[in-house]
Amino acid sequence: MIRLFSRLFHREKEAHPFCSAIVAAAGSSRRMGEVNKLMAPLLDGVPVLAWTLRALNEAELVDEIVVAVREEDLLSTGDLCKIYGISKPVKIVRGGDTRLDSVLAASLEQAGREGITGMLYSHPLGVYGHSAGPTIGLVDNQKHVKGKGDYPIHDNTAYAMELNVYGPIPEWGGQTLMLGIEPDILFAGGKVEYLYRQKELHLVK
């Protein structure tokens, strides 16, 4: 388990760390007049989702694509990848009720495929710690958080991105140990930046 947790710290030291791109496409397309963005030929006869997939397929730093869609669109999304020649590995998962829930579900699914047992949860940050904004996941609820999880993410806002991994420790007779970190992140200009990121494990004897 320590080895799995250490991977979270040292990936940036690799020449090209493995990169999974998550596409949140499980929404109701309200901003697009509820048009099915998966199959509707909106731009030059090509669906919006296909444009996104083709761009990620050509991106050198992206190794695999994870697409979170509604349950009824799982099969059609697979067909879309075949039609437009997406050659990179694509994992299609069932998304959540909101864009935030879809990213959470896709991230947990990816962690499971990498053999990582853990959790993801986040809350907004303010001057005095917790602040107003969306709650994404809880320790006792790794799905949609009703009420607090329905708020949108706004530009120029900060969050505590909490995550943990846990598993048996052979040296301790197989006891389960959980290790967690809580890096602070900033969402600005449509991108996420670390305000602080722990990069080393500190062993306390």
Domains of the chain, by residue range, sit at 2-196
In order along its 205 residues, the chain shows pLDDT tens digits of 445 445 554 555 556 678 888 898 887 666 666 666 666 776 788 888 899 999 999 999 899 999 998 888 889 899 999 999 999 999 998 888 777 888 888 888 888 888 888 898 888 998 877 888 888 888 888 888 888 888 888 889 999 988 888 888 888 888 888 888 888 999 998 788 888 877 777 778 7
Three-state helix/strand/coil letters over the chain: CHHHHHHHHHHHHCCCCCCEEEEEECCCCHHHCCCCCCCCCCECCECHHHHHHHHHHHCCCCCEEEEEECHHHHHHHHHHHHHCCCCCCEEEEECCCCHHHHHHHHHHHHHHHCCCCEEEEEEEEECCEECCCCCECECCECCCCCCHHHCCCCCCEEEEEEEEEEEEEHHHCCEEEEEEECCEEEEECCEEEEEECCCCCCCCC
Which pTM value belongs to this model?
0.67
Q: How far apart are CA 112 and CA 97, in angstroms?
A: 21
